[in-house]
Amino acid sequence: MNVQNTVDLSNSTKAPSDWWRGGVIYQIYPRSFQDSNGDGIGDLKGITQRLDYIASLGVDAIWISPFFKSPMKDFGYDVSDYRDVDPMFGSLEDFQELLGQAHAKGLKVMIDLVLSHTSDQHPWFSESRASRDNPKSDWYVWADPKPDGTPPNNWLSIFGGSAWQWDPRRLQYYLHNFLTSQPDLNFHCEQVQDALLDVARFWLEMGVDGFRLDTINFYFHDKQLRDNPALPVEERNASIAPAVNPYNHQNHLYSKSQPENIAFLERLRALTNEYEGRACLGEVGDAQRGLEIMGEYTSGDARMHMCYAFEFLEKRALTAAYAKQVFDQLQAKAGDAWPCWAFSNHDVQRHASRWNLSDAATRQHAVLMMCLRGSACLYQGEELGLPEADVPFERLQDPYGVEFWPGFKGRDGCRTPMVWATQDEQSGFSTGEPWLPVSAAQSERAVDRMEADDQSMLHHYRRAIALRHAHPALAAGAQSEMEQVGPVLVFRRENPNEEVFCAFNLGSEAGQVDLPSGSWQAIGQDIGSVTGEGRVTLQPAEFCLMRKDKG
């Protein structure tokens, strides 16, 4: 079994500034986490109230989805003021209180920076659209129509339709890769880059520990505005957009992932390097080149600290064959990349439902994530094993779901309120009517019920996270080439002090693996690890973890 990524970066040797390498990050969607004032919308004070719970999970950091001032057309991912908190979430003082209390409990705080675009209500855009010769006239991507009045090229919006919107003030089109109310900033303009770096510095000065960078490969566009080529039918991949969306019909060579992006990422990294222990996590949205771009963006020490792609966020089940394929591709395209793995987040169906996992399989997948090389991201409620919520059309809030219903129901099903107390009003999320309905099926898995059962999914996640922290080789050691033995995924993690053997049956039938010779000790029995000697039979959803000291 060949060992890849042999540079050892285990917890026993890494500096405090490398907390992110192999760290476990807990994503909070603030609208749906905890409402402190009864208006039905979660807020910053609500997060602060729940910090003890988050710290009890054993995670290293929290990532908070956007809470900046916004008209909320895309629920905060359309920013109208980067330097202030939207009143529905509280105030800057509330955030500073959250930050201080999180740090006191040993939690890092990462915030979600949306730099590729703003709201159309941002003052920058109001000025830019006013004329073709004002100081911010080129801060957004403007283009003249073709002679027949149609958009300048064939680029498509992820949210449906053309990526170009006509503006009667300038008599030009502006680019929007998402909603028409989310115009794209022009990163070819250095003043735009400078302004956005000033935004990052504002939050770094306040004391945040890093940034999750939304749509990091969308920053630059092709200056020549060349048409995207068609993507052959057999290559269309619905991992970035739902299958009903024609966005999947193009190979997005020119509308995103441009080479000029590297230089800006290096500027951003240089800024964060001025502050001790800060980290950048980039979201790479590309169905064809995600792993390759991840490698480009995390290569060396001058770009992003880590990135995540969508390979484990798509509908395709996480089988042994697929996991091996992903890691083989990652090694071939970007052997020194530092990935951050997630199975669920605020944009995709919860993985327990997406992959139709049993409770046993959900538990197994949690342990698998803690054993994979890279950092790990958990989405609020994942630790409860929450299924996707069923939100009826009349209660939908997500414009993406409204546009493509019923073929795609949008993202509201993974964004419903966190369930804290089974018998409480709105499951303890709010005393008022929530912005999305509380799921009855999810309420059965509320935190209070899970806390009372030491064999619950919640306690299992705690033990799985503790396992990762207890074994530095799992957190940041080298990883061997993966092997597929029937339905079983097999690999090793190691550092100079220990080696960990990992085997996971990700299939629907029993499989057998030969345990390696040597003085191995079984670990993880409290999370369900199967023990044995010689050859071990693993039933579906079972796994085996063994470790040995290295001389």
- pLDDT the model gives residue 251: 94
| pLDDT tens digits along 304-325 | 999 998 999 999 999 999 999 9
Mean pLDDT of 49-76: 98
Establish whether 214 is a catalytic residue.
yes
- Check whether 383 has a pLDDT greater than 80: yes
- pLDDT the model gives residue 336: 87
Reported confidence tier of residue 517, pLDDT bands at 50, 70, 90: confident
What does pTM read for this prediction?
A: 0.96
- pLDDT the model gives residue 6: 34
- pLDDT the model gives residue 216: 98
- Check whether 5 has a pLDDT greater than 50: no
- Check whether 1 has a pLDDT greater than 60: no
As a whole-number percent, the residues of the chain with pLDDT over 90 amount to 91
| pLDDT tens digits along 159-198 | 999 999 999 999 999 999 999 999 999 999 999 999 999 9
Mean pLDDT of 137-143: 98
**Mean per-residue pLDDT of the chain:** 95
φ, ψ of residue 448 to 5 degrees: the values are -60, -40
Q: In angstroms, rounded to a whole number, what is the distance separating the alpha carbons of residues 184 and 120?
A: 9
| pLDDT tens digits along 412-470 | 999 999 999 999 999 999 999 999 999 999 999 999 999 999 999 999 999 999 999 99
Establish whether 133 is a catalytic residue.
no
- pLDDT the model gives residue 308: 92
Mean pLDDT of 33-37: 98
| pLDDT tens digits along 223-257 | 999 999 999 988 887 567 888 899 999 999 999 99
Q: In angstroms, rounded to a whole number, what is the distance separating the alpha carbons of residues 258 and 240?
A: 18
Mean pLDDT of 369-393: 97
As a whole-number percent, the residues of the chain with pLDDT over 70 amount to 97
As a three-state string, the secondary structure of 274-320 is CCCCCEEEEECCCCCCHHHHHHHHHCCCCCCCEEECCCCCCCCCCCH
- pLDDT the model gives residue 288: 87
More confident residue, 482 or 243: 482
Among candidate residues 43, 214, 222, 292, the one labeled active-site is 214
- pLDDT the model gives residue 295: 94
Mean pLDDT of 490-498: 97
Mean pLDDT of 70-81: 98
- 433 burial class (0-12, 13-18, 19+ CB within 10 angstroms)? exposed
Reported confidence tier of residue 26, pLDDT bands at 50, 70, 90: very high
- Check whether 7 has a pLDDT greater than 80: no
The token pair at 80 is: 């109208």
Element (H or E) spanning 212, and its range?
strand 210-213
Mean pLDDT of 332-348: 94
- pLDDT the model gives residue 13: 45
Please, what is the end-to-end C-alpha distance for the chain in angstroms? Answer: 19
Q: In angstroms, rounded to a whole number, what is the distance separating the alpha carbons of residues 101 and 49?
A: 10
Q: In angstroms, rounded to a whole number, what is the distance separating the alpha carbons of residues 225 and 254?
A: 7
In order of their start, the domains of the chain are 3-116+187-221+256-468 (3.20.20.80)
CB atoms within 10 A of CB 459: 16
Q: Look at residue 27 and give its three-state secondary structure.
A: strand
- Minimal CA–CA distance to 489: which of 252, 257, 321, 361? 321
- pLDDT the model gives residue 551: 67
Mean pLDDT of 380-400: 96
CB atoms within 10 A of CB 267: 16
Among candidate residues 133, 148, 234, 274, the one labeled active-site is 274
| pLDDT tens digits along 277-300 | 999 999 999 988 999 999 999 999
